[in-house]
């Protein structure tokens, strides 16, 4: 039996909105497995927000750089939000993005690349020494198309190509580049807001689909529904699930009366050629990173020699 800590219970509560005792029972029933506990709560109808994103736990900036048929996203983390407003740090993130545009999505290759007389790794070390705070190049993503555009969108922007949430979208088409770029930015804004998991159902993680089917089936099984009815309900439920998590099936944020797929199809008339959504990447600052909460007032007092 796994030891269930208060922190684990709190984390599950933050993710699901369920009661503390329900969260503790869910973790006990599933031997401390967080994902299984989330599913357990959903099956019991106790999860109020199973898909709610966890709190962002790291500071820094997302950088986006695009150039025609190529585009990259980079995430550079810092210890505090103050550094994200620092011009030197912002310049560092922009520089790393430019290097990534040529070097690709390999973090180690980017760190080893030279900018003038120094490597990117050295430039990061110099910034750490100057600003006095730890910084890391956490991750990089790259999209390319043979013909078409890669567009970007930065939310909570603090400067050109810099923000707290970044998206790049790749569109393959032989059509007008300017019209494609406009559509690409609209789609990037949609991805930022709607956070799809994949372009279509074929791109979804099979394990995620299996879990969704299990949750739906168990939920109605507990209600006493016969198996042949459950099978039909699950298939219907999956269609709803796909509309929630697949980009092309989601309601377009710029016109809720149509799906993204319909919006792309309509745009083909303006672009003058077929359009294929070739890929997208969405980076939210600090997602998946745990950061110890601290008493900011106590830190300031200690720095001033008062603590």
Nearest residue to 82 via CA among 303, 264, 275: 303
Q: What is the mean pLDDT of residues 221-230?
A: 85
All domains in the chain, ordered by first residue: 1-55 (1.10.8.10), 59-198+260-284 (3.30.479.20)
Residue 181's contacts (CB-CB under 8 Å, 6 or more residues apart) are 149, 151
CA proximity to 277, closest of 174, 184, 154: 184
Q: What is the pLDDT of residues 112-147, one digit of tens each?
A: 999 988 999 999 988 888 888 888 999 999 999 999
Task: Name the DSSP class of 198.
Answer: B
Query: What are the tens digits of pLDDT across the range 257-291?
Result: 999 999 999 999 999 999 999 999 999 998 876 55
User: Dihedrals φ, ψ of 225, to 5°?
Assistant: -70, 140
Residue 201 carries which DSSP code? G
Residue labelled with tokens 């900036």? 61
Confidence band of 49 (pLDDT split at 50, 70, 90): very low
Q: Say if residue 47's pLDDT is above 70.
A: no
Q: What's the angle, vertex CA 232, arms to CA 227 and CA 236, rounded to 5? A: 140
φ/ψ of residue 45, rounded to 5: 75, 20
The better pLDDT of the pair 300, 256 is held by: 256
Residue 225, pLDDT > 90, answer: no
Higher pLDDT, 90 or 304: 90
Its sign, for the CA torsion 14, 16, 19, 23, is negative
Hunting for tokens 């699950």 — which residue is that?
Answer: 234
Distance, in Å, from the CA atom of 15 to the CA atom of 55, rounded to the nearest integer, reads: 9
pTM of the model as a whole: 0.74
Place of tokens 């707290």: 164
């Amino acid at each position: 039996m796994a030891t269930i800590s208060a922190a684990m219970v709190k984390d599950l509560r933050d993710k699901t909105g369920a009661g503390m005792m329900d969260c503790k029972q869910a973790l006990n029933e599933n031997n401390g497995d967080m994902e299984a506990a989330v599913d357990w709560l959903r099956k019991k109808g106790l999860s109020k927000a199973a898909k709610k994103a966890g709190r962002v736990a790291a500071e820094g900036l997302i950088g986006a750089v695009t150039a025609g048929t190529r585009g990259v996203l980079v995430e550079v983390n810092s210890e505090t939000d103050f550094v994200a407003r620092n011009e030197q740090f912002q310049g560092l993130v922009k520089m790393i993005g430019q290097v990534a545009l040529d070097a690709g999505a390999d973090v180690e290759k980017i760190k080893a690349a030279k900018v003038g007389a120094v490597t990117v790794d050295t430039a990061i070390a110099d910034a750490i020494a100057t600003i006095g705070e730890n910084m890391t190049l956490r991750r990089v993503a790259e999209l390319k198309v043979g013909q078409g555009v890669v567009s970007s969108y930065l939310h909570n922007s603090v400067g050109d190509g810099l923000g707290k949430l970044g998206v790049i979208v790749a569109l393959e088409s032989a059509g007008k580049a300017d019209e494609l770029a406009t559509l690409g930015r609209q789609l990037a804004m949609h991805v930022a807001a709607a956070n799809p998991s994949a372009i279509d159902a074929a791109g979804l993680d099979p394990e995620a689909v299996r879990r969704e089917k299990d949750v739906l089936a168990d939920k109605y099984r507990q209600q006493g529904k016969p198996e042949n009815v459950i099978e039909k309900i699950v298939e219907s439920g999956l269609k709803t699930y796909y509309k929630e998590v697949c980009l092309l099936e989601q309601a377009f944020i710029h016109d809720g009366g149509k799906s993204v797929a319909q919006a792309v199809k309509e745009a083909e008339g303006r672009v003058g050629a077929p359009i294929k959504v070739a890929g997208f990447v969405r980076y939210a600052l600090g997602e998946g990173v745990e950061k110890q909460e601290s008493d900011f007032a106590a830190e300031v007092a200690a720095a001033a020699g008062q603590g």
